[in-house]
Amino acid sequence: MKGSSKRFISLALSLGLLFGSIILFLFFLKPAYSRVNILRSEYSANKSTVTSQEEVVAKVKDVLSNYQDQLVNLEKNALNIVPKNPEYETFLYQINAISKIDGILLASLDFNLLPNKSAKGKDFTQNSILQVKLQLKGQYDKFKAFISHIEKNMRIVDVVSMNIIPDEKGNNSYSVVLNTYYTE
């Protein structure tokens, strides 16, 4: 084979390889490259969506945690308002503290459990009644402050009746009947 034939074959093979690589690039590599770019953009979009959803899930978990904490606090407060049993000692402590703060003498105290006649057969928890009879001594303005503080106490208290026995020295005697409630 002559040198010119070898060059021609070499040139033809080179051009064939060049056109083959162009065809390979156009028909195989370019679509694959485009598909890779599309997949990269989808991955980026999905990654940002997943990240934002993870942030939302974290916020929801935080809100649920706060809600659970508030629910526990609400339960504690509800049990302070209407306890699960009479809690004589707690109520006695509250009345004694209020009487000392208001400067009125707590002469006697009597607890009675009353039967609950209302709402029998209903689906909700019944409240039972703890009736408290108090004998107090002191000035009228201090007695008014005492009654006001009893009514503003966290535990629900109803003043059922009260009698005032006046004294010439201004140290009146008071008979008060209170109802407070608890759940069974």
pTM of the model: 0.61
pLDDT, residue 123, reads 46
Q: How far is CA 67 from the centre of its chain?
A: 3
Q: Which residues of 78-111 are buried (b: 16+ CB within 10 A; e: fewer)?
A: eeeeebeebbeeebeebbeebbeebebebeebee
Residue 142: CA atoms inside 13 Å, Cβ hemisphere, count? Answer: 18
8 Å CB contact between 128 and 182: yes
pLDDT, residue 124, reads 47
pLDDT, residue 157, reads 93
pLDDT, residue 159, reads 94
pLDDT, residue 119, reads 53
In the predicted model, residues of the chain with pLDDT beneath 70 are 1, 117-125
6 backbone dihedrals φ, ψ, rounded to 5°: -65, -40
Q: What is the 3 state secondary structure string of 100-156?
A: HHHCCEEEEEEEEEECCCCCCCCCCCCEEEEEEEEEEEECHHHHHHHHHHHHHCCCC
